[in-house]
Amino acid sequence: MSLVIDNRQNILNIEEELVKILERVVIECLNREKLSTKYEVSLSFVNNVEMSKLNYMYRNKKGTTDVLSFPMLESESFGCKADNQYCISDDEKYNFAEKLLGDIVISIEKAREQATQYGHSIQREIAFLTVHSMFHLMGYDHEGESERKEMREKEEDLLCSLGLKRQGME
């Protein structure tokens, strides 16, 4: 698994510790969905100005947002879907070249605001946004209430398993 970091902001120094956390998060997302780790994920850190431009350009929405996901593969590319989980086809198991799963763009300013609002560290918030976006890259959505609930449960369970639970959760 390759995690390519593109730091295009100067608000937060991206330390090696955070990069290691994010690598663990990405690998755990792939493992939980029974996906090969032979994927590349691009993760960009931006400020609110750039995020606002991207949000308008790609979603036609004014203002900033915390995270944007740009999947490079269609859900069907994951092979079969059984019990609401994606798996890799036999043909892909023997393909050793990494495939680009997608791009994640996180607004560090927005992440900092949300970390303060929720009472946890910026590292935890960036990890949450990465998990959230990874599930989008793997075909999940949260248009309906049941989808939103399923996605949120998966996100929190994964983060808790990595010792990144939300402040106040037991």
Q: Is residue 61 part of a domain?
A: yes
Q: Tell me whether strands 81-82 and 85-86 are parallel, antiparallel or unpaired.
A: antiparallel
The DSSP element (H or E) to which 103 belongs, if any, is strand 99-107
Question: Quick check: is 58 in a domain?
Answer: yes
Here the tokens at position 100 are 């680009």
CATH number of the domain bearing residue 145: 3.40.390.30
Percent of the chain with pLDDT over 90: 72
| Residue 169 within a domain | no
For residue 53, is it within any domain?
Answer: yes
Q: Give the other-Cβ count within 10 Å of 131's Cβ.
A: 24
- pLDDT the model gives residue 20: 97
**Chain segment 102-124, per-residue pLDDT in tens:** 999 999 999 999 999 999 999 99
Residue 52 burial (CB count, 10 A): 17
Query: Is 168 part of any domain?
Result: no
Question: In a 3-state reduction of DSSP, which class is residue 38?
Answer: coil
Residue 148 lies in a domain: yes
Q: Which tokens hold the place of 107?
A: 């607004």
Close Cβ partners of 23 (under 8 Å, ≥ 6 residues apart):
1, 3
Whether residue 166 lies inside any domain: the answer is no
The yes-or-no verdict on residue 95 having pLDDT over 60 is: no
**Burial grade of 74 (CB within 10 A; 0-12, 13-18, 19 or more):** exposed
Instruction: Please give the span between the terminal C-alpha atoms of the chain, in angstroms, as a whole number.
Output: 32
Distance of CA 52 to the CA centre of its chain: 19
Looking at the chain, the whole-number percentage of residues with pLDDT higher than 70 is 83
Q: Domain limits at 42? A: 2-161
Q: Is the pLDDT of residue 84 over 60?
A: no
pLDDT tens digits along 119-147: 999 999 999 999 999 999 999 988 889 99
Handedness of CA 78, 84, 85, 90 (dihedral sign): negative
Read off the tokens for 14: 């991206």
Band of pLDDT at residue 49, cut at 50, 70 and 90: very high
If one counts the domains in the chain, the total is 1
What is the model's pLDDT at position 37?
Answer: 83
Residue 41 lies in a domain: yes
